[in-house]
Amino acid sequence: MSANITDHADVLRRVYTDISEKLDAQSVARNMFQSNALTLKELQSIQSKHSKPAKAAELLLNIVMNQSANVYCCFLSALKMTDHEHVFHAIVSRSYRGTYDICIGYAICRLVVLVFGVESVLGRTT
């Protein structure tokens, strides 16, 4: 996979403040939970902050930063699926090696999800 996907925590740290103000964490978290990228406990923690959207976004970003690159791929996918293209592009445009590398990594993740299912991306078995 691309180096940018491996360095996802660094990329998110660089855009953390900007993204936490633009991200509707509730919808992204629900999508990630449905893809088995978040646990029920993580989803409930984010949902409990519904009256503080910036805090919910910060919590989601912290969770993603501390997870594998596979969860990061699901996060990117969830951004696209929940009409957060502006957030996706903010991440891509500020990545270490530019838009091309991170988009290639995202495209590979999407292909793996489509072909093998999200469980294979996350390394989980049912």
Where do the domains of the chain lie? Answer: 3-122
CATH code at 3-122: 1.10.533.10
Amino acid found at 46: I
Mean pLDDT of the chain: 79
The C-alpha atoms of residue 92 and residue 45 are separated, in whole angstroms, by 27
The pLDDT of residue 49 is above 90: yes
User: Residue 117: pLDDT band by 50, 70, 90 thresholds?
Assistant: low
Cβ atoms of 52 and 105 within 8 Å: the answer is no
Distances (CA, A) of 16 to 19, 21, 25, 67, 91: 5, 9, 13, 16, 9
Question: What pTM does this model have?
Answer: 0.73
The C-alpha atoms of residue 39 and residue 36 are separated, in whole angstroms, by 7
Q: How many Cβ atoms sit within 10 Å of the Cβ of residue 74?
A: 27
Task: Give the residue with greater pLDDT, 29 vs 2.
Answer: 29
Question: Each residue of 91-105: pLDDT tens digit?
Answer: 877 665 544 455 555
